[in-house]
Structure 1
Amino acid sequence: MKKILVILLSIFVLGQSSAALAASPPREKLNLKAHPSYQIDAKYDSKENMLKGHLKVKFKNRYKKNLKEVRFNVWSNAKEYQDQGGSVTITNMKSNHEPVNFKLENSVLQVFTRPQALNKVVEIEFSFNITVPENNDRYGRTDKIVKLGNALPVLAVYDSEGWNTDPFYEYGDSFFAEASEYNVSFLTEKSMKVVSSGSETNYYYKNEYTLHTFKAKQARDFSLVLSKDFLKQTLPLKNHVINVYYLPEQQSQLNLIKQTTRDSFELFEKTFGKYPWKEFDVALTDGWFGGMEFSQFVMVSLYDGLSEEDLKFNVAHEIAHQWFYAIVGSNQHDEPWLDEALASYAALLYKNDTNNLTAGPVEDPYYKLTSTVTDFMNKGDEGINNYYYMTYIYGTTALYDLRLLVGDKPFYQTLKQYIRENQYKIATTQEFIKLFERKNKLDLSEYMNEHRITPESN
């Protein structure tokens, strides 16, 4: 979520309602029936501003006969980050223990394997050096914080379109991955505090370094935030551990953030279903982008001029993404409304602002609720503004109208069923609509036309 969204939402809501790496511990055998499994050994070198290490991923070829190519998304090598001084180097590429050719071009890594039979377990491994650029974004570094959001290479999703390696854009999200298992060892300076996807399982001191070990189950990503200055407070919840990491200068906003985190988390569990992981973390960062979701943690950026109401919305919105991104996956590039509108609606639900949502679509019929990120970005600044308006603001109106159509209780019951049926899977707009039709015995064709919902175009 970006700062421009916060401005638009403020207008909308106010208008409506007021080393070499140390040897890592033994690895568990991982389930390859449904989920890819990653083993990552990495180190962050703050002198070189570099993330370096080795990645191995195993997955079952459920995709096609004689699979000859595997693709990864390497968003940290997007041209936008290269222009800021970032870079990614890949070496020592192997497939099933044999050296193979590969090609890295911007954010797409192609690995050329020997033909892989259907249902065969494929193992890809390689070493990486990632130079982290200096910037104030969800991926980048400043003098106090290193944000490694979606920095690590991740296996692309394979579906009817083939390998999904859609372009990276500074505005909007193209992050899309299968729920996967991660075992990670991560070496840092001893003074560095680490927030990550999953949970820390252990740590070991080695001279001036700390070796952290992490495990993440059914995670869409493995991302991290690092700072020597982080402080931590833990919130008292019955069934979960929620940690809030913050910088000393952010202390004045801490109570509001803690209250919003606890209350919205509890509301979303009650409304959408149980949060399936034990731990959840909130990392307060610098940056202009408002917030960003990851598996089992979120970044919330605090910038000058951020009001209390906008801050509460941002925190609740990012926490809602734990249900509408982490638990239920979707193609954030092809169907950005499907997670963003739901997360925005959930944030308005927390703020008790879900009545009388009347924002209409933009006038130009080119823009649909189900337009892709590329569709929007192809129109320059106008498209960027309309991306945020259609996806986040008009999207909440579309959900409000759907609630009026089916009724309050059936609406929330169906949402809960949507999450339950798609837990750790990848959902689509078509499946979302069909569930509402089936569950509530409705034909939503007219509703779809009225709200520019055309899932067949994606």
Structure 2
Amino acid sequence: MHNNKFFILITIITFLFFYTCSTPTLAVAAVNSYDKYIISAKLNVEKLEIQANETIYYTNRHDLGFNELYLHIYPNAPSFKSLGGSIEIRKISIDGKEAKFIVTGEDRTILKIFLPTPLLPSSSIKIEISFKVKIPIKEDRFGYYAGVFALAHWYPIMAVYDERGWNLDPYWDAGESFYFECAYYNITFSVPEGYVMAATGRLDEIKKKAGEWIYKWYTPLPVREFAAAVSKNYEVVSGEASVGRRKVKVYSYYLLGHEVAGEIALNTAIKSIEFYSKYYGEYAYSEFRVVEVYGWFGGMEYPMFVMITSSLYSPQRKTILELVVAHETAHNWWYGMVGNHEGLEPIMDEPFAEYSDTLYFKWVYGEKKFEEIFDLTVRRPYYRFLKIRDKDYPIAWSVFDFGADSQAYFTIVYNKGAMVLRMLNWLMGDAKYFELMHRLQEKYRFKICKLRDFKVEAERVYGASLDWFFNSWVYGSGVPHYSVEAYAKQTGLTYTLHLKVKNAGDPVIALVPVRINTRLTSITVTLWVNGTQGEKEVSLPFEPLTVQVDPNDIVPGEDDNKPVPVKLNIMKAPSVDVALLITIILLSLVDFAGIKKIENRGHKGRK
């Protein structure tokens, strides 16, 4: 009896020991899946500055220890500094102890913190930073202009460590060089009384004190960064997007006098969220904001929050406003929920957003409108560029590869990139293409998806190797120019059509569509053009009249796609003596008549 009690006691103690040891570890693992930012900030509208204190709970999720940590401090970028922008780091503490730091990087946008003790794998620390930001007078994603504060990239944010080491790329004006891990945010932001603030996250509350309004924002789910806009001239209209069985609250912030455009922006955002949720995967968050600012750009993407330039807020510019809002909203799927290094692999967000904004018009207005918008905003700019430059580039290039050539960057990554995605969509078919989009959102949500990951997932869904596609159209460059020849042979009621597609341009590999037109219908077949030409035979039950190579311009490259007449060769039966043939037919008829008479007599006799 005593032995049993002792055994039970030991069992309970052992269980409690392992429970108390293991439960905190599991809890820490869950909490530490993402870092956490807590920022308290105050905007001084007269001095154009922000005073702030920031706390970052950071975990080392790598298999080596760190003696220093790196953060991006983008307000120091030359394009901001030249117009009055800067960030001053006043003090840094690590786990309550003051730490040394330096400002470094080729453009002085890197903050290097020296750790008092190494940060070991799976260990966490608390980083406290006191800083002051000067806001430049600039129409940009970070700047003040005409009563509007656009506040992106204003606070220190952790650099990403991966197989390249620490990613310490400079700030990039023509495009983006941003690369962030998802994290939780809790922001308290004080503005002067009467100023309206829009931002990433869910608005928890607004405390109205004498002379100031204090906005409290938080993110129930991880986001890639935090951005905001502040103005006393904002009006707000809201609505709801239906996502699965839940509703997403959508807000449109616009400047006085822009009510109609503000409604257009709101409705576009609502429709975009609903369609992208259907075709790509559900929008993860409960709120979304589209905000009017002043900028040199059309729009800028941030989690749960997008900036749209004021010049588009006109009823006369409805189509382009819809296009830009749809584009930036799509970034919440491509860059936001599924992340990428926007500097090294802009292919993993910009082409997706560019193709998505044209698909928005297809889903809302129909196929004809889609073709019109795709031609106007994607195809023509690319072909104009080729005509001027007479040179093509890979869509897999980084922003750094393009350097200062912003025209090449935007044309190749955005326009050609969207054309290549459309070709992939055509190649896979809608069912598999959108299955791939869902797969990416499910597997890489709140994570980083690299180009190599995209290729692997595309091949899994497609069910075959796509080496030829990625080598020719993603990593490679070149512009084909296709033409088609066709002749047919008629044998009885069957037509055998021989197609030959020639490529007079760059010798890229492609599966090329050819339309066959008849009196009754049109059918489309495909054939491989492995560099310079490809051939194929097709059997048809009706006469082919004309053929067209790539009539919808699926494969990027300006082709001779006018209808080409089919040369028809009718196979004649062997020649015979006509007189002899007539004699045989007559004799056959006489014999047939005689047989019928005999048959008739026989029938009468049996009756």
TM interval, short-chain normalised: 0.7 to 0.9
Secondary structure at the aligned position of 1:237 is classed as: strand
Encode CA deviations 1:232-266: one digit per residue, 9 max, x unaligned: 11113341100111111222323322332222221
Which amino acid is the alignment partner of residue 68 of structure 2? Answer: E
CA distance in 2, matches of 1:389, 1:435: 26
Secondary structure at the aligned position of 1:218 is classed as: coil
Structure number with larger C-alpha Rg? 2
Report matched runs for 1:208-219 at 5 Å.
208-216=211-219, 217-219=221-223
Secondary structure at the aligned position of 1:267 is classed as: helix
CA distance in 2, matches of 1:309, 1:364: 30
Contact 2:348–2:450 (8 Å) recurs in 1: yes
Secondary structure at the aligned position of 1:417 is classed as: helix
Structure 1 residue 303, shift from structure 2 partner:
1.4
| Aligned partner of 2:393 among 350, 367, 372 | 367
- What residue number does 2:584 align with? none
Structure 1 residue 143, shift from structure 2 partner:
2.5
Change (3 A) 1:244 1:30: farther
- What residue number does 2:407 align with? 385
Which amino acid is the alignment partner of residue 393 of structure 2? Answer: Y
Report matched runs for 1:117-266 at 5 Å.
117-216=120-219, 217-238=221-242, 239-266=247-274
Contact 2:272–2:329 (8 Å) recurs in 1: yes
Encode CA deviations 1:103-158: one digit per residue, 9 max, x unaligned: 11321111111211111112211101000000111110013100001211110111
- What residue number does 1:52 align with? 51
CA distance in 2, matches of 1:152, 1:108: 12
- What residue number does 1:18 align with? none
1:112 aligns with 2:134: no
When structure 1 is superposed on structure 2, of 61-70 and 321-330 the one drifting more is 61-70
Report matched runs for 1:391-410 at 5 Å.
391-410=413-432
More relative contact order in 1 or in 2 (CA 8 Å, sep 6+)?
Answer: 1
CA distance in 1, matches of 2:208, 2:342: 39
Output the TM-score relative to the length of structure 2.
0.67
Which amino acid is the alignment partner of residue 235 of structure 2? Answer: L
Change (3 A) 1:120 1:365: farther
Change (3 A) 1:397 1:366: closer
Which amino acid is the alignment partner of residue 207 of structure 1? Answer: A
CA distance in 2, matches of 1:415, 1:364: 33
Output the TM-score relative to the length of structure 1.
0.88
Secondary structure at the aligned position of 1:333 is classed as: coil
CA distance in 1, matches of 2:53, 2:470: 46
Aligned length: 422
1:298 aligns with 2:302: no
Which amino acid is the alignment partner of residue 53 of structure 2? Answer: H
When structure 1 is superposed on structure 2, of 74-83 and 365-374 the one drifting more is 365-374
Contact 2:251–2:266 (8 Å) recurs in 1: no
Change (3 A) 1:79 1:31: farther
- What residue number does 1:414 align with? 436
Structure 1 residue 30, shift from structure 2 partner:
11
Return 5+ residue gaps in structure 1 as ranges: 1-28
CA distance in 2, matches of 1:312, 1:208: 37
Structure 1 residue 64, shift from structure 2 partner:
4.4
Secondary structure at the aligned position of 1:351 is classed as: helix
Return 5+ residue gaps in structure 2 as ranges: 1-27, 363-369, 477-607
Secondary structure at the aligned position of 1:431 is classed as: helix
Secondary structure at the aligned position of 2:41 is classed as: strand
Contact 1:79–1:107 (8 Å) recurs in 2: no
Q: Percent identity?
A: 26
When structure 1 is superposed on structure 2, of 112-121 and 338-347 the one drifting more is 112-121
| Aligned partner of 2:287 among 268, 276, 279 | 279
Q: CA RMSD in A?
A: 2.0
CA distance in 2, matches of 1:118, 1:414: 34
